[in-house]
Structures are given as structure tokens and as C-alpha cells.
Amino acid sequence: MTTTETTPIEAWTRRVEDLVLDLDLSAVRAWKDAQPGRKAIGFLPTYVPRELIHAAGMLPVGVLGAGEELEIVRGDACFQSYICHLPRSVMELGLSGRLDVLDGMLFPSTCDVIRNLSGLWQLEFPDKFVRYVDVPQNFDPEVGGKFYERLLRELLGELCALSGKSPEEVDLAASVRIYNTNRARVSELYALRAEEPWRVPASEAYLALRAGMQLPPEEHTALLEEYLELARAAERPMQDNARVVIAGAFCEQPPLPLIRTLERAGCDLVDDDFMLVSRWLGPDVPETGDPLKALVDAYLAFGGEASCKYVPDGEDKGARLIASVREKHAEGVIFAAPSFCDPALLDRPMLQEALDEAGIAYTSFKYSENTGQLQPIREQAGTFADTIKLWGDQ
Amino acid sequence: MNAPVKKNVVKEPSMLRQKEMIAQHFRDLARAKEQGKKVVYTFVPGNLTELMLSFDCLPLHPEINALQSGMRKLSGEYIAEAERAGHSEDVCTYVKCDIGMMLKGNIGPTGEKLPEPDLLLLSYTGCFTFMKWFELLRERYKCPTAMLHVPYQGEGHFTEEQVQYVVDQLRSEIIPKFEKVTGQAFDIDRLRDLLGNSARAEEDLVYVLESAKKRPSPIDAYFGGVYYIGPLFTAFRGTPAATEYYRMLREEVDARAAAGQGPITPDGLLDEERFRLVVEGPPNWTHFREFWKMFADEGAVVVASTYTKVGGTYDRGFRHNPERPLESLAEYCLGCYTNLNMPTRVDMLTNYVKDYEADGFLINSIKSCNSFSAGQLVMMRQVEKRTGKPGGFIETDLVDPRYFSASNVKNRLESFFQMLAQKGQEVPA
Ligand code: SF4
Ligand code: SF4
């Protein structure tokens, strides 16, 4: 009989998986219990400036749905069958009391569904702090920038009123620094993935990122550092997998087994758009000057592309995706979008056209956060991986 | 039981006038290029018609193309074409219908080819899909695009900052693009004149819509309402023709009300008003008449609807204001129905049920439209709770014939009407 010892990286994975799949948000409860009066604020994808919540002394918590973990009953009574899965699981989490630990919720301007969900939250949870957080689609500093700055100042004021922190006590610059460090570690993780993908399986990278949706940023940074160290040290055989970029999964999340399925199908995910909030501004938000202004400027300057963000110049459509493929030496793109996700699915033909012009291979499928039938996806991804490995250079 | 409907089909002069206005508009569009007119594609919610007209541009609305294709039974083919070209079956069918039509030669309702846009005016009000739609059209037409980002009323009201943001965009982005495309300088006095005309027409539209408070209602505020909103929601707001149209319409409605008459349906004058309804959600266009008949045959009259507010919530008091031209355009955009948050939408429906003394309300949930549909089940429960009136729920689509099941819709409606009839007989406690 042989005993298999748990390697440090396996232990890390289990620990983080337990954290990430815990729909009762025990880690958030523990953080709140550690000090009386602490508050936590939930936010939905795609992007909110977490620095403001942090600076107001509260814990930002990403609410990304319930994956395949939860039976949806009340959530289904709120949404018709032709609406994506995310809002129904978020509603289920809310109505089942699992989100009671959150003292408020922020709903970013990602799509009409999340937008409407913000209002439903106001109706269903009238005692909670609920805000719809707009972002400018006009990127002129004098226009969209001014608007966004006023909006963020107001939001910061409201968050402080909720947390009880006086505006004089707020050290937003410190929060910017903390998140810059966090984003730098996230970038490091993505860089390692691209350089030595066999060291960083997609599922582990995903867990590492997802943990940041519940942990305070300082702790999350430490967890990323721990993982990076373990991954660099782990003895893992180099593999000749297909290097692919995932696009379209920026909101409703694919279930973890789906990500593992892609791995098993021979795909190294060298880039993706999961949890863009972790990477939105890049690590270089200026740490001098007015920190709020710095967040505004960084937002306006952010070159990333997401379906919820307007691309002012048609020539740039798809440019970010192509750049990612080139920079990460990817061999193809997997468009993985949630069913009924208008933003991702409407974007897809435009991005595909851009890839066609650039001669980049792609395949597409839809999923939902509770997709259980993974075999067809495995076959499709496997065929894609084989094809680009065989024919990629041609 | 079927409510008797007089079979002599009447076409009112206002209806004929509107028809002529639309026909003329499409003739103008067909000749736009030879006459050196600039064509601007834009959306109904948050449209800046007066501004476009002040630059002598001709507006063209892709949603209207799509709905007309639906009514002319062409949308199924167009949608299929777009899906063959790689568009997902899951997404908004207005977009696919428009794209399919474009792929098939862009032939408009008059049988003539529609002109290509000189400018895409992307007023991003009340729906994210608009943004993707015009990104898609921009790929094809490679023409200038002007984006007007209208923030959502997440807190149920708009703020000074939001108005300022929209005005700033009008000044720095929209007007300069118009000047560049047309070669004309912005003429604020011309804009003011047009806005003055709009306000007069808006006054009359509200008068017409509110006539439904009478018993019997002289109008149907949904099926008939979609015609009444036509000129103001599309290419004509601000024109003397629109102002005249609304004056005419108002007189006709007044005359019907004075005679104690009900609305005119496709089969003629509705004699007996059995049920008064409030409706939320857009109508189905592929089976518009059949759908309307399901109501008219039962004597169900829609006394208020939210769809007739997508292009402006004039009944909440908004009027374009020549004294504050850009600010009032901004406030107009901010106030369109789908730019209002869900609690405000619930309040509006609740008030409609009360103010228009409705017997019940109905939601027509549109598969295509997340902007309208996401959350309607919660809305229904809220309105039921607040009004004590029964709510009905049906599912159709705007222009995808695959999602209109006449038998299902009819069954659901019949049960709903039965419920209303029973409720009507109950003696109040
Ligand atoms: S999955 Fe898509 S449609 Fe659904 S909430 Fe997210 S962005 Fe919106
Ligand atoms: S989603 Fe609704 S509002 Fe938006 S374009 Fe489609 S039908 Fe119109």
C-alpha cells in the first residue's frame, strides 16, 4: 500500500477552495467578529473601486454568484428562464440570509441585469445600504473624469457615513498603496502563468484570485505571495499543452470543475478575464497627489477591454484581446460566455472578426455557473487544443 | 364572452396624417444622399431629435426598422440571417433583426434601400445593448460615432452632477461631431424653436394619454398608444407637423370621449369596456393585431402602459424647455422609462393602477429585452401587494416569431380575464 502525502501546494489548494466555496462567507464573518463594529460591503462584477470601501474601514466582498453549490428556488421566482444565472443565485444567497453578513451592496454598471438587480435589492432589502455605481463611458478627463470624481467623492462620503469613520481619518492613499501591491502580486501570478504554465494550473490561479473576493487585501496579498512561492518551488513536469486565452467570463463565473475540465482537455489558460476587478487599474495607480483623483485618472487611462466598457475607436475593438494573445504567446482564444449574457455574446462576433483578421484561432461555448454537463466542453476544448497544437504554426 | 366590436373599420384623420408623415420621411431618406442631407442613425430612448433637426439631419431608428420588419413578417428571416452570420440565439432580437436586414440589403419599409449613416448617434439611455448594437454597426459602416453616456437613475432620481455630465458631453462630444459631419455651425436659437414645438406636442400627448382616466376610456393606451407616441418618439419631435398631429389627435380623442365612445381597435370602435388594464413591457410586433384582438375581443382596454414612456416620461411632468435647451435635453434622456430604477418603475405602475382605476395589470415579458424584463417577476409581486389588484404575466418577444405562441398567450390571457371577472363580481368586504 502506498500513502500519498499532501504536498504544500495541495494543502494550500484545499484550504483556499474551502474558503472560496463557502457560501456562508465564514471568513467575512470571522473578520467582522474580530473587532466590534466592523462592516463589510458586497459588490458584483465587473468593477468597483474597492479602495474606497477599504479606506472607509470596511471589507469589500465580491459577490459572484453561487456556482453549482446552491439549489435555486427563490431566485428562480425572481427571473425568467431567459435571463442569465448570476442574478438568480445572488438573489437566492440574499433571500436565504447568506448575505446578511454584508452591510451593504454595490452594483456596478455592468449590464442591464445587474443594473435592475440593484433596484430589486432596494425593494427586497430596504434596510440595507444599496448603491448603483456608475462609471463613465466618456473618457475625457474634463467630462467623464469630472463626473466620475464627483461620483466617487459622494460614494466615499456615504461609505464613511455607514462605517462611522470621519472623513479626516480616511487614508485613501494608504488603501491605494495596499491595492497597488495586491494588483502587483496578481500581475506576478499572471506573468508566472504565462511563463511557466505548468507551474500554475488554471484552477489554482483561479482560486488564488477568487480568494481575494473575501479576504482583506493585505491578507490576500500574503496568500498570493504564499502561492507564488509554493508554485515556483513545486516540482511539476513541464507540459506541452495548448496555450489559450479565455474571453467572456468577466461576470457570471464558470464553475471550478469547468476550469479543471479545460486543464484536463490540454489547455493552459495563460490569460483570462475572470474577476477583472482584481486587475482593472493595473498596479500603477499613482501614490502621490490626491488619491481619489489618481483612481479616477487610472480608470480613464485603463486600456483593458471588457464588454461593459465602450470602445470609442472602432479600430481598437479586439485590440486588447489580440495584444494579450501576442504578449502571452497564446495559440488561441476560447470564448466562454454565460448563457443569455448579452454583453459578452454581442461582443463575441466583433472580437471573432478581429481574431480572424489577425489569424488567431478560436472556439466558443456557453456555460452557466451551475453547468454540470462538462463532457461536451471537454471534447470541444480537447479538439481545439489538439488542433492548435497540430496546425497552430500554419 | 366577447365584447361586441363594431365592424366598420375607421381610420382617423390623425392616423392618416401620421402615415403620410412617415411615408414622406422615408421618401426623404431615400433621396437624402442626392439632396446632400446627412443621415443619423439613433435610438428612440434618449433621442436628440431637435438637435439633429437643428443640423438639418435626417434621423433613422434601427429599432423602428426592426419593429416594422416584425410587423411586415420579415423579422424571422432577418434574425435567422444574423444567427447564420454568427450572432447568438440568446441576444436581443432587435439587434439581430436590424443586422439581418442590413445583411440582406437594408431595404426599408417602402421597398427602397435605406441610406447608410453619416453618423451613428449612440445615446446610451436605459439599455446597455444599444452600445453593443452601434459598435456592431460601426464595424460595418465605418462612419463617425458619437457616444452620449446617460447615467442610470440608480437612486430613483437624477442629480445635478448627472445633468451636468450629459450637458458636458453634448458640448464637447455630440455638438462638435454634428458640426463636423454637417459642416454647419450649431444654432442654439433654432434648437430653442424646435424645443418649443416639442413642449406643445408633449402637452397634447399627455392630455391624450390621460384621457384614459375617463370611463369608458376613449383610447387604448398600449396598442393604440404605440401609434400615438410615434411622431414624438421618432423623427418628428420638434417639427410643426408633429405639433399639428397632436393637436388633431387631441381633438379626435375629445370628440370620442364626449360621445362616450371607447377606443378604435383594428376591428372598429370598441363598444363595451369590460376590463381596464395597466400593461408593463413592450408589445409583440410579429403578431401585433392578433395580440391586440385577444384583448379587444374580451373588452379589455389598456388604460396606461409603461412602453409608451420609453421615449420620454412626459406624464411625470417633464417638458422640453427652450429656456434651458441643453439641460432639458439632458433631463429628457435621464428620465426615459428604462433609465429609471426598479422601485420607481414599481411606483409608476402602482400609481397607474390607482390613478387610472384599473382592474388589474399585466406584464408582457419580452425575451429579448433584459432592460425591461430582468426583475419583472418581483415587480409583479410588489404591484400586487401595493394595489391589491391581480397581476398577469405573459411571455413573448418583440420581433422573433419563434417566441410568440398564440395559443399560450391566449390561454394565459383568458385565465387572467376570468380572474378579473371573478374579482369584479366580489363584493368588497
Ligand atoms: S452574466 Fe452577463 S448578462 Fe448576466 S449579469 Fe453578468 S454581465 Fe449581465
Ligand atoms: S435590450 Fe430591450 S431596450 Fe435594449 S435594444 Fe433590445 S429591445 Fe431595445
Q: How confident is the model at residue B426 (pLDDT cuts 50, 70, 90)?
A: low
pLDDT of residue A393: 56
| Inter-chain touch A143–B165, beta carbons under 8 Å | yes
Ligand 1 pocket residue status of A341, Cβ below 6 Å: yes
Bridge partner list, A204: none
B109 pLDDT above the threshold of 90: no
pLDDT of residue B429: 45
| Inter-chain touch B370–A342, beta carbons under 8 Å | yes
Ligand 1 pocket residue status of A225, Cβ below 6 Å: no
Question: Rounded distance, CA A227 to CA B425, Å?
Answer: 70
Q: How many beta-carbon contacts under 8 Å exist across A and B? A: 164
Which of the two residues, A27 and A390, has the higher pLDDT score?
A27
Ligand 2 neighbours, Cβ below 6 Å, are B 63, 92, 94, 127, 129-130, 368-372, 398
CA distance to A201, A267, A381, B124, per residue, from A264 (Å): 10, 7, 9, 42
| Inter-chain touch A134–B371, beta carbons under 8 Å | no
pLDDT of residue B89: 96
Q: Mean pLDDT over residues A166-189, rounded? A: 95
Out of A117, A136, A352, closest to residue B375 by CB: A117
Name the residue of B47, B67, B125, B369 to mutate for ligand 2: max ligand atoms within 8 A of Cβ.
Answer: B369
Selected residue of A72, A80, A340 to mutate for chain B interface (largest B Cβ count, 10 A):
A80
Q: Is residue A237 part of a domain?
A: no
CATH of the domain at A97: 3.40.50.11890
CA of B129 to the centre of ligand 2 (A): 6
What is the complex's ipTM, to 2 decimals?
Answer: 0.96
pLDDT of residue B1: 45
pTM for the whole structure: 0.96
Q: How confident is the model at residue A1 (pLDDT cuts 50, 70, 90)?
A: very low
- Note whether A316 contacts B: Cβ–Cβ < 8 A: no
Chain B positions touching A78 (Cβ under 8 A) are 375, 377-378
pLDDT tens profile B235-290:
999 999 999 999 999 999 999 999 999 999 989 999 899 999 999 999 999 999 99
| Inter-chain touch B88–A111, beta carbons under 8 Å | no
Q: Is residue A87 part of a domain?
A: yes
- The domain locations on chain B are 13-422
Other C-beta atoms lying within 10 Å of the C-beta of residue B103? 14
Q: Mean pLDDT over residues B45-60, rounded? A: 98
Q: Mean pLDDT over residues B43-52, rounded? A: 97
Share of chain B above pLDDT 70, in %: 97
Q: Which domain holds residue A98?
A: 22-171
pLDDT tens profile A326-351:
999 999 999 999 999 999 999 999 99
Number of domains in chain A: 1
Distance from CA of B398 to the nearest CA of A (A): 14
A191 pLDDT above the threshold of 90: yes
| Mean pLDDT for all residues in chain B | 95
A234 pLDDT above the threshold of 60: yes
Spell out the residues 6+ positions from residue A368 whose beta carbon is closer than 8 angstroms to its own.
A84, A85, A252, A338, A339
Name the residue of B98, B132, B371 to mutate for ligand 2: max ligand atoms within 8 A of Cβ.
Answer: B371
Q: Is residue A245 part of a domain?
A: no
